Amino acid sequence: MTTQQVKEIDSKCLNDYLATLPHTDHRFFVTAVVRACGEGIKRKTFYNWKAGCCCIPSFCKKEIERIAGCVVFPKELYVTDRDVDTPSGKA
């Protein structure tokens, strides 16, 4: 799966979940996610995820699902150490 495909699926999953929330609750959800994900994640980053401009890191997906209280992303979209090439060329 290409990075572009992952970004599109991440974005669709996030937007599908957000569609289940009352519109007035979106900002509270965004604030909770930004706080839970830490210093490197800003509101702008969340909206980039929503727009499909960048991939959502696995640790942020876990936080989103923890806050949402349900599964938002398919487990095959989580990146693990085995998915990343090492300097030796082995996965």
67-79 tens-digit pLDDT: 999 999 988 767 6
Cα–Cα distance measured from residue 50 to residue 45, given in angstroms and rounded to the nearest whole number: 9
Q: How confident is the model at residue 87 (pLDDT cuts 50, 70, 90)?
A: very low
Please give the pLDDT value at position 40: 85
Cβ neighbours of 7 (radius 10 Å): 18
Helix (H, G, I), strand (E, B) or coil at 89: coil
* Chain mean pLDDT for the chain: 86
Please give the pLDDT value at position 53: 94
Tokens of 88: 């030796």
Name the residue with tokens 């599908």.
16
Average pLDDT over residues 40-54: 94
